Copies of this chain bind each other. A is one copy, B any other.
Amino acid sequence: MKDMQEEKRRIVILAEGFFGDLEAKTASGLIMYKPEEVVAIIDSTKADRSVEDILGFGGDTPIVATLSDSLKYRPSALLIGIAPRGGKLPSEWRGVIKQALENGLDVINGLHDLLNEDPEFSALAASRGATIHDLREASKYNTVAIGDPSLIEATVVLTVGTDCKTGKKVTSIELAKEARKHGFNPHFVATGQSGIAIFGEGVPVDSIIGDFMSGAIEAFLIEKSKTYDLLCVEGQGTIVHPGYSGVTLALIHGSLPDAMILCHYPGREIVKSYEVKIPPLKEMIQLYEDLTRPIKPCKVIGVSLNTQELGDEEARAEIEKVEKETGLPAIDPVRFGCDKLMKAL
């Protein structure tokens, strides 16, 4: 990933059909945190609109219909900015990826499907001097967790959720930003493909084999704790997710947090794509705390709400309701900042 960080990237983001949706959260995340790196968005269904119009931020970054239309903005890389369920490459994207490589663009890929393992893509990349960055390539992780909290010499705050896509990544990023103002030397630790795409480093926990997930995050935190005093670790999934709960728990036991923040999307009652009813927040908090107790007891110190679909008034009411319900400080980190969480910490 070094070359991704050394010089400024000029990225065109593939978000066809989904720009602005939660399914394209890699796209919106990159525009939020690295707007200077984004030269264009590909989404033919929104090519006449502005990024600002769709996201509420992002200014006049152009939305174009095709990769060809984006070339005039001189991109250096194509980022696959949509995360389809299961991380498979939809066959209709092969064309645009080939076209990018043919034009010498690097490809930044967060899918489970590794493009470097695709003979056509890898041959094309080699012949055009382009690099494929498979963010979920995880074969190097091969150690079991040590499980000794004293090896991580920093305070660790982990976000946990009531579901996927509740704001865990954004909360962890915003908390790190806020902590800097409070005199910490903090670091955001990405654990998913979106965060890794944005910041160029992290641990793709959901792509590591079962026995080594905890060990991977633990080793990363031990290393980072030599430089930083506060590690804001992005959580994954939810402990009540039929498909991803194993990843969620591996992150909890691998990061051995000192504090957890529960992330929730108000109004969401069912785990996305499943029939699972999300338990009440107090039960979720209890369950997360129960799971840490035998190894390293840890409290949920606050609740982070993603109120993007609510008006200001409604958002404040929701926050108040959740504070009453849980007895914990609640925030929306994007809307109202993380100050309250820093105090709880």
Binding site for B on A (CB under 8 A): 85-88, 112, 138, 142-148, 205-211, 213-215, 239-251, 253-254, 256, 274-279, 287, 290-291, 293-295
Contact = CB atoms under 8 A, between A and B. Distances in A.
A304 B79 CA distance: 52
Contact of A295 (B86, B142, B246, B276): B276
Contact of A246 (B246, B275, B277): B246
A128 B266 CA distance: 63
User: Which has the most chain B C-beta neighbours within 10 Å: A138, A148, A242, A246?
Assistant: A246
Query: What is the oligomeric copy number?
Result: 2
6 contacts: A112-B211, A206-B209, A242-B253, A245-B291, A287-B290, A290-B290
A276 B256 CA distance: 12
Contacts of A143: 86
B205 A245 contact: no
In the A-B complex, the 3 residue pairs with the closest CB atoms: A147-B242, A246-B250, A145-B243
Contacts of A250: 210, 245-246
B240 A294 contact: yes
Contact of A210 (B147, B213, B242): B213
Nearest to A214: B243
A143 B86 CA distance: 6
Contact of A209 (B208, B249, B276): B208
Contacts of A87: 211
Contact of A294 (B279, B291, B293): B279
A289 to B, nearest CB: 11
Contacts of A245: 214, 249-250, 253, 291
Contacts of A148: 275
A44 B36 CA distance: 65
A64 B294 CA distance: 43
Contact of A211 (B206, B214, B240, B251): B206
Given A243-B145, A253-B242, A207 B210 contact: yes
A217 to B, nearest CB: 10
Given A86-B142, A245-B250, A295-B242, A276 B147 contact: yes
Contacts of A213: 210, 246
Contacts of A146: 242
Contact of A142 (B88, B215, B249, B251): B88
Contacts of A88: 142
A275 B215 CA distance: 16
Nearest to A207: B209
A243 B252 CA distance: 10
A209 B138 contact: yes
A194 to B, nearest CB: 14
A85 B248 CA distance: 23
A145 to B, nearest CB: 4
Given A242-B145, A242-B253, A206 B214 contact: no
